Structure 1
Amino acid sequence: MKAIILSLVTGLIFLSTNCDRQNSEEQMQITGTIESQGITSYQYGTHTLNTEDEFYALKSEKVSLDEYVGKEVTISGSKIEGYPVDGGPDYILVTEVKE
């Protein structure tokens, strides 16, 4: 019984310290134009941010990115760990958008 409780406590500690791993990178700001994302080979993100030199796949849990489609904005966010994949772009978790 003690082993089960110890395992549960250890698991809870592990989960609580690793909940934010997907956005463990530092906050960054990027300026560009937000576009809706269509069908892609890399299949992640809901929108893209196109800059003069690069593009990024975006998602947000706080901001409705649809409100900014076609507009030049500056986003704040962090890279999501484990990306890019399949030749795709960096994946950014957006926390704020400024027009």
Structure 2
Amino acid sequence: MKTLSIVGFNIIFLFAIACGSSSQSVATEYTGTIEPAGITSYQYGTHRLITDDETYALKSEKVDLNKYEGKKVTLTAEKVEGYPVDGGPIFLNVMTIKE
């Protein structure tokens, strides 16, 4: 009976640890040129960041991305969970921008 209690406790403990850990997104810097998204096949993001080797879909609730269209910038962003979809690019939520 004691062994059963210990096993039960360990299962509950491991479950609590697994549920408590979250895959929080880490803010990362990206450098490239911001363009309006236009019409895309993937249909997410208001803008795109074009870098030397990648294209990212962008959104932001903190920064007016329209102000930076056509400009080369360095931005800090977090990946949006659940993306990319439909063959689209990685989706970033922009936190800050530097020209």
Q: TM-score range by the shorter chain?
A: 0.7 to 0.9
| Corresponding residue of 1:90 | 90
CA RMSD for the aligned pairs? 1.4
| Corresponding residue of 1:29 | 29
Q: In the alignment, is residue 67 of structure 1 matched against residue 67 of structure 2?
A: yes
CA–CA distance in 2 between the matches of 1:35 and 1:47?
6
Tell me if the contact between 1:75 and 1:98 (Cα under 8 Å) persists in the aligned partners: yes
Instruction: Name structure 1 gaps, 5 residues minimum.
Output: 1-20
List aligned pairs for 1:49-68, cutoff 5 A: 49-68=49-68
The one-letter code matched in structure 1 to 2:84 is P
Query: How far 1:69 sits from its partner (Å)?
Result: 0.2
Query: How far 1:77 sits from its partner (Å)?
Result: 0.9
| Corresponding residue of 1:47 | 47
TM-score by length of 2: 0.76
Identity among equivalent pairs (%): 59
Q: Between Structure 1 and Structure 2, how many residues are aligned?
A: 78
Aligned with 2:67: secondary structure?
A: helix
Aligned with 2:66: secondary structure?
A: helix
Query: How far 1:24 sits from its partner (Å)?
Result: 2.8
Instruction: Name structure 2 gaps, 5 residues minimum.
Output: 1-21
CA–CA distance in 2 between the matches of 1:40 and 1:49?
14
List aligned pairs for 1:2-21, cutoff 5 A: none
Max Rg structure: 2
TM-score by length of 1: 0.76
| Corresponding residue of 1:18 | none
The one-letter code matched in structure 1 to 2:92 is I
